[in-house]
Amino acid sequence: MPTWLSTTCRVLIIVLFPIVLTLTNVRLLLTPWFPEIEYRLPGFPDDRYGFTQAERLQGSKIAIDYLLNDQGIEFLGELRFPEGQGAPPESCEYYVTRDCTFMYNDRELRHMEDVKVVTRGALTVWWISGLVGVLCVGALAYYGEIAALRAGLLGGAGLTLVLLLSIIVYVLIGFDIFFVQFHKVFFEGDSWLFLWSDTLIRYFPERFWQDAFLFIGGGAVLEAVLIGGVAWWRL
């Protein structure tokens, strides 16, 4: 293998390593089992407006399904509260084109459309990064460039540890600031700001998102340690 190609593959492995691991855990987050575990954790807050745990689990899984399927926003927009129920009064003012018996108000639906765009973009990056990374690892292994492969995996693991441990510490000591900055990076305006009584917050309270970011970061750290350890001892 030419030196330039070996070097390119090694650098790509290092750069793509944290991206692939992080987005792998994002994809794991978008599965029904995460809410099943999360809502049963000790201290997870109850919905102050009356959703039962079963209703939250069902609603959260539908929301996640929307992010992954090919349906339009009507997939969520046509959902209604059970007969005789509706949105809390403080949320009703945001139902501009619909009445309060619908599960989601207009602002929530706009935000979910934005989230779906971001989710699809992230999963596309995941697939492309993963494919390029696997090709680079395969090429180095095939041509016997073991030193370059080892350096790439160890460098990627090290970069992942530095980046993700920094984010974990940030989440632990200043989650509110981190959460605001995250949304300002990925979303325009204030479409992501909701009332405590809005359905999205009732399904996904702040605790849910704090645990989600810790799961993504912690999972990537553990995976980086595992892969880096294998590269260190076996290569």
pLDDT at 234: 80
CA angle 102, 106, 112 (to 5 degrees): 100
pLDDT at 216: 96
**What does the CA dihedral 196, 199, 202, 208 come to, rounded to 10 degrees?**
-100
Q: What is the pTM assigned to this prediction?
A: 0.92
Q: Do residues 153 and 227 lie in contact, with contact meaning Cβ atoms separated by under 8 Å?
A: yes
Question: Following DSSP, what letter does each residue of 77-104 receive, concatenated?
Answer: HT-BPPTT----GGGGGG-SSS-TTBSS
Question: Following DSSP, what letter does each residue of 154-223 receive, concatenated?
Answer: HHHHHHHHHHHHHHHHHHHHHHHHHHHHHHHHHS-TTTT---TTSHHHHHS-HHHHHHHHHHHHHHHHHH
**Computed from CA positions of residues 121, 123, 125, 127, in that sequence, does the dihedral angle turn out positive or negative?**
negative
pLDDT at 163: 95
**Which 3 state secondary structure label does DSSP give 69?**
coil
Q: pLDDT tens, position by position, for the chain (235 residues)?
A: 788 899 999 999 999 999 999 999 999 999 989 999 999 999 999 999 989 999 999 999 999 999 999 999 999 999 999 888 899 998 888 888 889 999 999 999 999 999 999 999 999 999 999 999 999 999 999 999 999 999 999 999 999 999 999 999 999 999 999 999 999 999 887 778 899 999 999 999 999 999 999 999 999 999 999 999 999 998 7
**What does the CA dihedral 168, 174, 176, 180 come to, rounded to 10 degrees?**
-70
Q: Cβ of 190: how many Cβ atoms within 10 Å?
A: 11
pLDDT at 1: 79
pLDDT at 85: 86
Q: Do residues 167 and 213 lie in contact, with contact meaning Cβ atoms separated by under 8 Å?
A: yes
Contacts of 203 (CB under 8 A, 6+ apart): 51, 56, 59, 60, 63
